[in-house]
Amino acid sequence: MIASARARRRLLALALTAVLAAGAACQAHEREQAGRPAPPGGVRGFTLVASGDVLPHASIIERARFDAGGSGYDFRPMLAGARPLVAPAGLALCHMATVYGANGDYTGRPLFKSPPEVAQALAATGYDSCSTASDHSLDDGTEGIRRTLETLDGNGVKHVGSARTVAEANSVTMLRAGPAKVAHLAYTQGTGDFAPPAGQPWAVSLLDEGKIVADARAARKAGADVVVVSLNWGTAWQDAPDDRQLALARRLTASRDGGRPDIDLILGTHAHVPQAYEKVNGTWVAYGLGDEVAGEMYNDQGVQDPRGNESTLGRFTFVPPKRPGGRWEVTRAEFVPLFFDVDAGRVVNLNRALAEGAEVRSVRDRIREVVLSRGAAKDGLVMGQ
- What is the DSSP secondary-structure string of 187-203? EES--TT-PPPTT-TTS
On whether the CB atoms of residues 9 and 342 are closer than 8 A, the answer is: yes
Q: Are strands 46-55 and 91-96 parallel, antiparallel or unpaired?
A: parallel
Residue 19 pLDDT level (bands cut at 50, 70, 90) = very low
Q: Which of 289-316 are b and which e, b meaning 16 or more Cβ less than 10 Å from the residue's Cβ?
A: bbbbbbbbbeeeeeeebbbbbbbbbbbb
Lowest-confidence segment of 11-15, 125-129, 157-161, 240-244 by average pLDDT: 11-15
- Alpha-carbon span 99 to 106, nearest angstrom: 10
Using a pLDDT cut of 90, give the percent of the chain over it: 84
pLDDT of residue 176: 97
pLDDT of residue 288: 98
- What average pLDDT does this structure show over 31-37? 39
- Alpha-carbon span 232 to 219, nearest angstrom: 20
pLDDT of residue 347: 97
The side-by-side arrangement of strands in the sheet containing 265-269 is 173-177, 180-188, 226-232, 265-269, 283-286, 277-280
Distance of CA 243 to the CA centre of its chain: 22
Residue 293 pLDDT level (bands cut at 50, 70, 90) = very high
pLDDT of residue 9: 54
- Alpha-carbon span 13 to 293, nearest angstrom: 15
Mean pLDDT value across the chain: 91
- Alpha-carbon span 359 to 355, nearest angstrom: 9
Opening angle at CA 161, ends 230 and 127, nearest 5: 65
Between helix 117-125 and helix 141-154 the angle, nearest 10°, is 40
Of the chain, the end-to-end C-alpha distance in Å amounts to 25
Q: What sign does the dihedral 209-96-137-144 (CA atoms) show? A: negative
pLDDT of residue 360: 87
- Alpha-carbon span 120 to 147, nearest angstrom: 14
Q: Which amino acid is at 8?
A: R
Residue 385 pLDDT level (bands cut at 50, 70, 90) = confident
On whether the CB atoms of residues 65 and 73 are closer than 8 A, the answer is: yes
On whether the CB atoms of residues 285 and 254 are closer than 8 A, the answer is: no
Question: Is the N-terminal amide bond of 110 cis, ω within 30° of 0?
Answer: yes
pLDDT by residue (tens digit) across 192-251? 999 999 999 999 999 999 999 999 999 999 999 999 999 999 999 999 999 999 999 999
- Alpha-carbon span 18 to 372, nearest angstrom: 28
Q: For the domain with range 5-36+44-383, which CATH number is right: 3.60.21.10, 3.90.480.20, 1.10.287.110, 3.40.50.450? A: 3.60.21.10
On whether the CB atoms of residues 16 and 74 are closer than 8 A, the answer is: no
Q: Is the pLDDT of residue 20 over 70?
A: no
Cβ neighbours of 261 (radius 10 Å): 18
Q: Is the pLDDT of residue 366 over 60?
A: yes
Q: Is the pLDDT of residue 8 over 90?
A: no
